[in-house]
Amino acid sequence: MQKTTLTIVLATLCLIFSSKTNAQAIQTVIYPINTGDKIPPDIWNRSFPVINNPRFKSKISLKDYGNKLIILDFWATYCHPCIESLDLLDSIKARFKDDLVVIPVLINDLIENGSPFMKKKKYVWPSIVGDTTLHKVVLSRYLTGFGIAWIKDGKLLAVPGKKMLTAENIRRAIEGKPIEFINRKGKIQ
């Protein structure tokens, strides 16, 4: 009888703690941010699942890269402008290898399409997969789908249009020099 009672009590406690944990997770709301805003801690510290990681890790977080310039490039295997952007970043990344981190974020595509495509293109960076929070919530003021976001010192530096993706602008961002970014909607940031 005591074992049965103890089992029921323990099961009830597990349900209570489980429901509190789920309720706390649901209560975490992340809002869209503006350029210059700090990346919300829930995003900055989050472990994102990745494919194609040369360090064989299955997850990465933005905080892993500290104060480097992080360029998030939202892409899909069928998106020609996305692939052009990744190819451009691949061609200039070596100039800034200690100060620049390129993190493709696969969206609107099947995860299983990502790895073979990245291997074929010989991209040597991890790609975030299976996440919708970054572009649909945090960057929703700027991105409705594909595009690029620049993060520096834990803040959203810019969400520029493709024409702003130049080695000179990357160098200026790394050095902390001002850049007059033009976003995808033609507005200056």
Predicted TM-score of the model (pTM)? 0.80
Lowest-confidence pick of 7-16, 70-79, 114-123: 7-16
Q: Are 74 and 82 in contact (CB under 8 A)?
A: yes
Same domain, 22 and 62: no
Q: pLDDT by residue (tens digit) across 53-81? A: 877 889 999 999 988 999 999 999 999 99
Tally the domains of the chain: 2
Is 188 a member of any domain?
no
Would you say residue 86 lies in a domain?
Answer: yes
- What's at 12, amino acid-wise? T
**Tens digit of each residue's pLDDT (9 = 90 or more) over 96-107:** 988 999 999 999
Range(s) of the domain holding residue 99: 31-175
Residues 1 and 82 grouped into a single domain: no
**Is residue 128 assigned to a domain?**
yes
Q: What is the spatial distance between Cα 64 and Cα 157, in angstroms, rounded to a whole number?
A: 18
Give the CATH number for residue 145.
3.40.30.10
Number of Cβ within a 10 Å radius of residue 163: 9
143-176 tens-digit pLDDT: 767 889 999 999 999 888 888 899 999 999 999 9
β-bridge partners, 148: 73
C-beta neighbour count of 19 within 10 angstroms? 10
**184 is a domain residue:** no
